[in-house]
Amino acid sequence: MATGLGLLVGSFLNVVAARLPERLAYDFQVQCHDMLNLPLPQERPPGILWGRSRCPVCQQIIAWYDNIPLLSYLLLQGRCRHCGVRIPLRYPFVEALTAGLSLLAAIRLGTGWHAVAAIVLIWLLIVLAVIDRRHQLLPDALIFPGLWAGLLLNTKELFVPCHTAILGAAAGYLCLRAVAELFHLVTGKVGMGHGDFKLMALIGAWLGWQALLPVVLLACLFGLGAAACRALLFGIGRQAPLPFGPALAAGTICCLLTPSCALWFYWADALPL
Ligand SMILES: [Zn+2]
């Protein structure tokens, strides 16, 4: 059941990752029109929940039987039925990843509310990672509801005690921001965006301040690994920007699902606050 639900949700996450940045760009252009009299954008992009999916090249509406997670991609051999343009591998990858991680979470964490909340957090982190990788943007429209949800769930101590979650949210934001400001002071370069600070606040709100260090250490490993793979496989140099959001998301999911979370619990037990 977790796998099937994960496939359907993965398909929905693809829609959110494609449409939300378009809507945010449109809203920003409308604000520029209102405040600066810049030209109004011509067409309003479809909403997240409403409007059928279309091929971005030939604009044909995608039929339901061409929209079945994973299966349609395989049957269509990764191409649009109408114009034959290649469908990005990102779509089946996100669907398979969401299904796989949902199944893993259900196996490791069981079926209680804790597991349900953890799976929702994983879905949120996946969509944030996809948007950040494509647009170098971690939208407030997703980050803030996620942050409040983490704090509210921890009022019932679903993951950590409430005061640990509040400290985690504040420490997550402030610590990463302090590192980024120091980096800017020393090198004169901008190393991280404000979205990364807010994502760390979200992670702290869900998992408490004790999880922040393991998450950042894992994220640095993932980030270095991704940069090395990119350089070796595609010859992309280190000057090209590498979003940190996907690495933070991967580090958080590891802390939730793998034995490395033992480190987090060790911290929680050793230094109770
Ligand atoms: Zn097409």
CA distances (Å), origin 192, targets 138, 161, 215, 248? 12, 29, 16, 12
Domain range summary for the chain, segments of one domain joined by +: 1-111, 141-273
Q: Compute the distance from residue 54 Cα to the ligand 1 centre, in Å.
A: 8
Q: How far is the CA of 16 from the centre of ligand 1 (A)?
A: 20
Please write the tens of the pLDDT for every residue from 253-269: 998 887 555 555 555 55
Cα 62 to averaged position of ligand 1 atoms, centre (Å) = 9
Query: Rounded to the nearest whole angstrom, what is the distance from the C-alpha of residue 248 to the centroid of ligand 1?
Result: 34
Rounded to the nearest whole angstrom, what is the distance from the C-alpha of residue 87 to the centroid of ligand 1? 9
Q: Say if residues 119 and 2 touch (Cβ distance below 8 Å).
A: yes
Distance 59 CA to ligand 1 centre (A): 6
CA of 61 to the centre of ligand 1 (A): 9
The answer, yes or no, to whether residue 156 has pLDDT greater than 80, is: yes
Q: How far is the CA of 121 from the centre of ligand 1 (A)?
A: 33
Residue 100 is predicted with a pLDDT of 94
From ligand 1's centre to the CA of 11, what distance in Å? 18
Position 150 pLDDT exceeds 90? yes
CA 92 / ligand 1 centre spacing (Å): 17
Task: Report pTM.
Answer: 0.89
Q: How far is the CA of 79 from the centre of ligand 1 (A)?
A: 8
And the tokens for 77? Answer: 């051999």
Residue 2 confidence (pLDDT): 77
Distance 13 CA to ligand 1 centre (A): 21
Buried (b) or exposed (e) across 71-105, using 16+ Cβ within 10 A? ebbeeeeeebeeeeeebeeebbebbbbbbebbbbb
What's the pLDDT at 273?
Answer: 40
What's the CA-to-centroid distance between 83 and ligand 1, angstroms? 4
* Cα–Cα nearest to 252, from 214, 198, 208: 214
CA of 67 to the centre of ligand 1 (A): 13
> Which residues does 256 contact at the CB level (< 8 Å), separation at least 6?
105, 109, 118, 121, 122, 207
**pLDDT digits 0-9 by tens, 168-213:** 999 999 998 998 899 888 988 877 888 999 999 999 999 999 899 9
C-alpha 86 – ligand 1 centre gap (Å): 9
Q: Which residues pair with 61 in a beta bridge?
A: 54
CA 128–ligand 1 middle distance (angstroms) = 26
Beta-bridged to residue 86, according to DSSP, are 79
